[in-house]
């Protein structure tokens, strides 16, 4: 096992990794930007090292600065968490080339699954069910032809990146032509997939050691989204029967084996609500934001497992050892104003009181007196509850959210309360259009920006996609 591990991240995931390391007897190194010098992860780690100014491109996305910190603190391994450099194959390669251990899959695997075009080809060859898609667009002129071949409605996605960013649903050629005015497919590769309007977003947690052993830990329902961004997740999914659960689990393992996957990861699918068919979306080669609900229903500590696998330990578990017990729900509490088009709400936290009591877990990286910085993702905390049944979990979450108090910044807490009170949500009648259909006030499109501003924003999103996650 490692003696010292560096965490190339910040916020709640850095705190989560520190806690796992403390339980394993591993010393931790926190890296931080100048804006984060008083952050919780810095306070909790054994050692800390400043890697640059507030701008993430000069700190948390600065590969050389992080490697310098690792060398200076004599770290033996680097855990990237999620977001930032966690899906950057070049960084993973630099880490291992430096003689350090990368807590995650091999760089070549990250590279293969990170390019959606390459990943789709690999999954097709492996026999995974896929929605119809196109090759990357070479120019705007061929876009209408390829979209027609795929079949409207289509969704246009960047070949690299994720997190629901820079994706557009297009219903006809006129909408496509309008979309092509704000993206440049000659500079950033995009491709089409057929869009399933009534679908559920189901993902499967996988775990694989370095010796060919791989299992899954059930599924997570991630259909409650706003503009392709997850808001609330739960496990297990109410949409799956026992046979469907076995089928999607087998598909996830098949997908992982086809790319020689190691460590912890997630295979994501869309399920057509009308037919019950599953379609492969992507593989996320890292820990997910919503990993805690899987931990709740399986009793498996995924972060500790990540570290143990990276240290060379075998799984010592088979599929029969994994049991799903009860139901878990996670609400992401972001520093955003949902009543004002989800505008970020950075600032000082004046008062902070987390909910507690039976079956409630809160993963956070803040406290009263600390600031929510404007430079990074707005996630403050994740409230996770575990009930005997789904109805039980909903009631526990409602109680927990009523206890949660955060003053100084606006949060998405009230939005979650509205979701939990919705009759369709309570009966499990949800899909990826849930927010749009049931709470349309939160799906309002912001005022249309000027063309130049839109292009600038899109370019910025694509340049920094490593910071985003879903």
Query: At residue 192, what are phi and psi to the nearest 5 degrees?
Result: -105, 145
Closest by CA position to 223, among listed 267, 269, 191, 166:
269
Q: For residues 168 and 185, what is the distance between their CA atoms, to the nearest angstrom? A: 13
Q: Tokens representing 201?
A: 């977003």
Q: Look at the block and give the residue holding tokens 């706003």.
A: 226
Q: Which two tokens stand for residue 33?
A: 């930007």
Instruction: Report which DSSP code applies to 133.
Output: B
Considering 286, 308, 390, 438, which one is annotated as catalytic?
286
Alpha-carbon distance of 402 to 396, in angstroms, equals: 10
Can 286 be counted among the known catalytic residues? yes
Cis-peptide, bond into residue 154, ω within 30° of zero: no
Q: Which residue has the tokens 């520093």?
A: 335
Q: Are 102 and 310 in contact (CB under 8 A)?
A: yes
> Which tokens hold the place of 154?
């289509």
CA-based diameter of the chain, in Å? 59
Residue 202 bridge partners (DSSP): 221, 269
Q: Are 153 and 195 spatial neighbours (Cβ–Cβ below 8 Å)? A: yes
Q: Which H/E stretch holds residue 29?
A: strand 27-33
The DSSP element (H or E) to which 108 belongs, if any, is helix 107-114
HSE, CB side, 13 Å, CA atoms: give it for residue 261: 31
Residues forming beta bridges with residue 360, ordered by sequence position: 385
Strand partners, 190: 158
Q: What is the 3-state secondary structure (H, E, C) of 257-292?
A: HHCCCCEEEEEEEEEECCCCCEEEEEEECCCCCCHH
The Cα–Cα gap between 7 and 13 comes to 9
Partners of 62 in the β-ladder: none
Kindly list the catalytic residues: 286
């Amino acid at each position: 096992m490692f003696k010292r591990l560096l965490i190339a991240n910040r916020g709640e995931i850095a705190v989560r990794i520190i806690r796992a390391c403390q339980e394993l007897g591993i010393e931790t190194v926190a890296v931080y930007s100048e804006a984060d010098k008083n952050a919780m992860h810095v306070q909790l780690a054994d050692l800390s090292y400043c890697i640059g100014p507030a701008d993430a491109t000069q700190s948390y996305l600065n590969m050389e600065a992080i490697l310098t910190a690792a060398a200076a603190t004599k770290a033996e391994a680097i855990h990237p968490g999620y977001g930032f450099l966690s899906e950057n194959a070049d960084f993973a390669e630099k880490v291992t080339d430096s003689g350090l251990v990368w807590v995650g899959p091999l760089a070549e695997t990250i590279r293969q699954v990170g390019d959606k075009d390459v990943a789709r080809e690999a999954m097709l060859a492996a026999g995974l069910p896929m929605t119809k898609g196109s090759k990357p667009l070479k120019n705007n002129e061929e876009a209408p032809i390829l979209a027609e071949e795929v079949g409207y409605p289509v969704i246009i996605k960047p070949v690299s990146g994720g997190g629901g960013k820079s994706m557009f649903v297009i219903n006809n050629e006129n909408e496509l032509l309008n979309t092509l005015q704000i993206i440049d497919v000659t500079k950033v590769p995009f491709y089409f997939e057929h869009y399933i309007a009534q679908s559920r977003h189901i993902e499967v947690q996988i775990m694989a050691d370095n010796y060919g052993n791989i299992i899954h830990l059930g599924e997570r329902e991630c259909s409650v989204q706003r503009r392709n961004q997850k808001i609330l997740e739960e496990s297990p999914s109410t949409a799956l029967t026992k046979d469907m659960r076995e089928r999607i689990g087998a598909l996830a393992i098949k997908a992982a084996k086809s790319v020689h996957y190691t460590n912890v990861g997630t295979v994501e699918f869309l399920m057509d609500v009308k037919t019950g068919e599953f379609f492969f979306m992507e593989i996320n080669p890292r820990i997910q934001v919503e990993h805690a609900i899987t931990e709740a229903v399986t009793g498996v500590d995924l972060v500790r497992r990540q570290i143990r696998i990276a240290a060379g330990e075998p799984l010592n578990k088979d599929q029969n050892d994994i049991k799903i017990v009860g139901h878990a729900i996670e609400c992401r509490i972001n520093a955003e104003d949902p009543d004002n088009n989800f505008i970020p709400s950075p600032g000082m936290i004046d008062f902070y009181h987390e909910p507690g009591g039976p079956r409630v877990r809160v993963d956070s990286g803040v406290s009263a007196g600390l600031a929510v910085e404007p430079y990074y993702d707005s996630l403050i905390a994740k409230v996770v509850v575990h009930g005997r049944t789904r109805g039980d979990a909903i009631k526990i979450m409602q109680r927990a959210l009523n206890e949660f108090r955060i003053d100084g910044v606006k949060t998405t807490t009230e939005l979650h309360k509205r979701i939990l009170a919705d009759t369709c949500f309570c009966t499990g009648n949800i899909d990826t259009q849930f927010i749009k259909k049931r709470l349309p006030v939160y799906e309002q499109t912001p005022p249309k920006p000027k063309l130049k501003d839109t292009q600038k924003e899109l370019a910025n999103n694509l340049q920094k996609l490593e910071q985003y996650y879903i």
